[in-house]
Amino acid sequence: MLVSQLPTEKKQIYETLLLRITSGSFEMNSSIPRRYTCDGMNLSPSLHVEGIPFGTRSLAIIAEDSDAPIRSWVHWLKWDIPVRNDISEDFSGGIDGLNDFGKTEYCGPCPPRGIHRYTFRVYALDGRLGLKSGSDRTTLEKAMRGHVIAKGELMGLYGRTFEQIDPNDYL
Q: Domains in the chain, start-ordered, CATH in brackets?
A: 12-170 (3.90.280.10)
Report the distance separating Cα 58 and Cα 60, nearest Å.
Answer: 7
Q: What is the pLDDT at residue 7?
A: 60
CA-to-CA separations, 113 to 36, 79, 106, 132, in angstroms, rounded: 17, 30, 20, 34
Q: Is the dihedral of CA 78, 81, 84, 86 positive or negative?
A: negative
Neighbours of 5 (CB within 10 A): 8
- What pLDDT, on a 0 to 100 scale, did the predictor assign at position 69? 85
Q: How far is CA 91 from the centre of its chain?
A: 13
Q: What is the pLDDT of residue 2?
A: 38
Q: What is the pLDDT of residue 21?
A: 97
Block means of pLDDT (10 residues each) for the chain, 171 residues, are 48 70 96 96 97 95 93 96 97 96 96 93 96 97 95 95 54 44
The reported pLDDT for the residue numbered 120 is 98
Calpha distance 79→132 (Å, rounded)? 10
> What pLDDT is attached to residue 3?
38
Taking alpha carbons only, the member of 125, 83, 87 closest to residue 106 is 87
